[in-house]
Structure 1
Amino acid sequence: MIPTRTTPAPAPCPQPPAPALAYRPDIDGLRALAVLVVLVFHAGVPGPSGGFVGVDVFFVISGTVITRGILADVAAGRFSVARFYERRIRRILPMLVATILATYALALAFLLPTALDDYARSVVAAAAFSANVFFWKSAGYFDVEAQTRPLLHLWSLSVEEQYYLVIPVALPLLLARSRRVAAAGLLVALLASLTLSVALTGTAPGANFYLLPTRAWELLVGALLAFPSRWAAPRPLREAMAAGGLGLILVAVFTYDETTPFPGLAALPPCLGAGLIIAAGGGGAQTLAGRLLSAPPCTGIGRLSYALYMVHWPVVVFTRYALLREPAGWEVAGILAACLALAYAAWRWIETPLRHPPRGPAADRRPLFAATAALLAGLGGLGLAGVLTHGYPSRFPGVHPGALAALEREGWKGGRCFLENGRFSDWAGPACLITAGQRDTALLWGDSYAAHYVPGLEQNAPALSHAILQYTFAGCPPLLAYRSRAKPGCRDFNAHVFDVIRAHGVGRVVLAARWDLLPARTLASLPDTLARLAALGVSVSVIGPSPLFAFDVAVLSARGAGARADGSAAWFAHPGDPAIRRLAAGADFIDPLPTFCDGALCRYRTEGTDLFLDTGHLSRAGSALAVRAYFPLLRHGAASAEAAGR
Structure 2
Amino acid sequence: MAILAIGLAGAVSFAVCAWLTTVAQPWAFYFSPLRAWEFAAGGLATMAPAKFWRERPQLGAALAWLGLALIAGAYLTFSEQDTPFPGFAAVVPVASTVLLLLSGSGNVQSGPSAMLALPPLQWLGKLSYSLYLWHWPVIVYATMMVPDLSWPGRLACALLTLALSLFTYNFIENPIRRNGWLMANAARALIPAVMLTGAGVVATYANARLAVDDLDPSQRIIAETAAKPSTARAVGCVLDYETATPKACEFGAKNAERSIALFGDSHADHWSTPLIEAAKKNDYKVVTWLKAACRASRLTVWSSKLKRDYTECDQWREQSIKEIIALRPSLVVISEISLTSSRKLSPDAQQSDSLDQNWQAGLRATLEAFSQAGLKVAFIRDVPFNSLFVDTCVARALWRGQTPSVCDAPRTDAANDAMAAVERDIVRAVPNATYIDMTDRFCDAKTCHVFIDGKLAYRDRHHMATPFAQTLEPPVERALFSNTGTTAVK
Deviations 1:603-641 (A, max 9, x none): 33345444345665434563256677799965799899x
Matched, 1:495 2:315: yes
Deviates more, 1:550-559 or 1:533-542: 533-542
| CA distance in structure 2 between the partners assigned to 1:210 and 1:484 by the alignment | 24
**SS of residue in 2 equivalent to 1:400:** helix
- Shift of residue 426 of structure 1? 8.6
Match of 2:324 in 1: 504
- Shift of residue 272 of structure 1? 2.6
Matched, 1:417 2:230: no
| CA distance in structure 2 between the partners assigned to 1:481 and 1:495 by the alignment | 12
Amino acid at match of 2:162: L
Give ranges in structure 2 of 5+ residues lacking alignment.
371-376, 428-434
Match of 2:65 in 1: 243
Give the 5 Å matches for 1:450-469: 450-458=268-276, 460-461=278-279, 469=287
- Shift of residue 329 of structure 1? 3.7
Rate the CA distance shift 1:621–1:191 in 2: closer, same or farther, 3 A: closer
| CA distance in structure 2 between the partners assigned to 1:265 and 1:219 by the alignment | 15
Matched-pair identity in %: 22
**SS of residue in 1 equivalent to 2:175:** helix
Q: Does the CA-based 8 Å contact 1:553-1:612 persist in structure 2?
A: no
Matched, 1:376 2:217: no
**SS of residue in 2 equivalent to 1:470:** strand
| CA distance in structure 2 between the partners assigned to 1:401 and 1:421 by the alignment | 31
Which TM-score applies when normalising by structure 1? 0.56
Give the 5 Å matches for 1:330-345: 330-345=152-167
- Shift of residue 203 of structure 1? 7.5
Matched, 1:554 2:395: yes
Match 2:135 to one of 284, 291, 312: 312
| CA distance in structure 2 between the partners assigned to 1:278 and 1:477 by the alignment | 47
Rate the CA distance shift 1:578–1:256 in 2: closer, same or farther, 3 A: farther
Deviations 1:477-529 (A, max 9, x none): 767535465899x9646632222222122756321376343343157568656
Rate the CA distance shift 1:343–1:384 in 2: closer, same or farther, 3 A: closer
| CA distance in structure 1 between the partners assigned to 2:422 and 2:28 by the alignment | 36
| Higher RCO by CA contacts (8 Å cutoff, separation 6 or greater) | 1
Amino acid at match of 1:358: G
Q: Does the CA-based 8 Å contact 1:446-1:472 persist in structure 2?
A: yes
Give ranges in structure 1 of 5+ residues lacking alignment.
1-173, 175-181, 564-568, 641-646
Matched, 1:296 2:135: no
Match of 2:373 in 1: none
Q: Does the CA-based 8 Å contact 2:63-2:103 persist in structure 1?
A: yes
Amino acid at match of 2:47: F
| CA distance in structure 2 between the partners assigned to 1:580 and 1:265 by the alignment | 41
Match 2:170 to one of 348, 354, 358: 348
- Shift of residue 579 of structure 1? 12
Q: How many corresponding residue pairs?
A: 448
Match 1:272 to one of 68, 87, 95: 95
| CA distance in structure 1 between the partners assigned to 2:188 and 2:45 by the alignment | 35
Give the 5 Å matches for 1:490-639: 492=312, 495-505=315-325, 509-512=334-337, 515=342, 516-522=344-350, 528=358, 531-532=361-362, 534-536=364-366, 537-538=369-370, 543=382, 545-547=384-386, 549-550=388-389, 551-562=392-403, 569-573=405-409, 575-576=413-414, 581=419, 587-588=426-427, 595-597=441-443, 602-613=448-459, 617-620=463-466, 622-623=468-469, 634=480
**SS of residue in 1 equivalent to 2:134:** helix
Deviates more, 1:615-624 or 1:329-338: 615-624
| CA distance in structure 1 between the partners assigned to 2:231 and 2:333 by the alignment | 23
Amino acid at match of 1:377: G
CA root-mean-square deviation:
4.8
| CA distance in structure 1 between the partners assigned to 2:119 and 2:253 by the alignment | 65
Match 1:471 to one of 266, 278, 289: 289
Which TM-score applies when normalising by structure 2? 0.71
| CA distance in structure 2 between the partners assigned to 1:583 and 1:521 by the alignment | 24
